[in-house]
Structure 1
Amino acid sequence: MAATCWCITFVIFALLIPVSFVTHLTGRLIYLACVVGLAILFLAIKFYKAEIITKNNANDFELPGLYLRRGEDSARRRTEIEIGTWAMGLLPPAKSVESDEDMRQCPICMEEYTRGESIQTFGVCDHDFHRSCLHSWLQRGKSSCSVCRLDLFV
């Protein structure tokens, strides 16, 4: 940081000195070389610092394709739970399995429904799930039906 400030200050002072003060051609070339050299030095320091920051941030990613910082992962998880809870409120009321013709299996856990068990219909497509399975499905951030992939929020 101090080197950058020093370079900027020197370039400003160098630009404030009129070229007419430098009398000889050699002096003018030295003056011009100093100004250009300092500008290049300033840009090199700037890009070097940007490269260091990029390398330090590379350690914050969990997986190459995920692009989540470690601190953002827990915030995202809390948001998924809130959306899942809110989505459960959008669904029609749960019903209970009463007859043998309702004896199918839950597409999420693949277990058969039993009498008296609470099943939940996914609102947009009428597929049935165990209420607890659908609740955990929605709280994992999934808002589409696991069978037909229709989105609840469309």
Structure 2
Amino acid sequence: MAATCWCITFVIFALLILVSFVTHLTGRLIYLACVVGLAILFLAIKFYKAETITKNNANDFELPVLYLRRGEDSARRRAEIEIGTWAMGLLPPAKSVESDEDMRQCPICMEEYTRGESIQTFGVCEHDFHRSCLCSWLQRGKSSCSVCRLYLFV
């Protein structure tokens, strides 16, 4: 923030000095003063943008990356199944396909819904899936909608 204020103050001060000189200068010197003023303004804006980008990157975060040993794959798989089962409990109740207008296809398995099948809504975005497809999707560690990528929980 201090550097931003410094840059803005510097630009204003430089422009004021240039304006005071412009009233007493000839044509070529006025042109030179304008070019120098624009160069100073360009540099001030460049430094201001660089600082803003640095500040915004400081607020970014990265998710931790897990490195698993060979024996830990089964523990990871058990955790994914447990999280998927827990996530299924967060979803709204499943519904049954009743009419022809409900005849669409599941985005996961790409098969059409048939009458009497149990379809599950993904809760956040309202996309529909076969209940079994969504259950296996969540148990594979996927926590976002396969269509729009909205996360079930944050």
Shorter chain as denominator, the TM-score bin is 0.5 to 0.7
Distance in 2 (alpha carbons) for counterparts of 1:23 and 1:80: 74
- Judge conservation of contact 2:83–2:139 (CA < 8 Å) in 1: yes
Deviations 1:29-74 (A, max 9, x none): 9999999999999999999999999999999999999832111111
Deviates more, 1:69-78 or 1:143-152: 69-78
2:21 is matched with 21
TM-score after normalising by structure 1: 0.57
Matched positions, count: 154
- Judge conservation of contact 1:61–1:69 (CA < 8 Å) in 2: no
TM-score after normalising by structure 2: 0.57
Q: Structure 1 residues 90, 57: closer, same or farther in 2, change over 3 A?
A: closer
Q: Structure 1 residues 56, 68: closer, same or farther in 2, change over 3 A?
A: farther
What are structure 2's unaligned runs of at least 5 residues?
Answer: none
Deviation of 1:98 after TM superposition, in Å, equals 0.3
Deviates more, 1:19-28 or 1:97-106: 19-28
Distance in 2 (alpha carbons) for counterparts of 1:65 and 1:137: 21
Distance in 2 (alpha carbons) for counterparts of 1:93 and 1:106: 17
- Judge conservation of contact 2:97–2:103 (CA < 8 Å) in 1: yes
Q: Percent identity?
A: 95
Superposition RMSD on alpha carbons, in Å?
12.1
Deviation of 1:24 after TM superposition, in Å, equals 83
Deviation of 1:131 after TM superposition, in Å, equals 0.2
Distance in 2 (alpha carbons) for counterparts of 1:43 and 1:97: 63
3-state SS of paired residue (1:18): helix
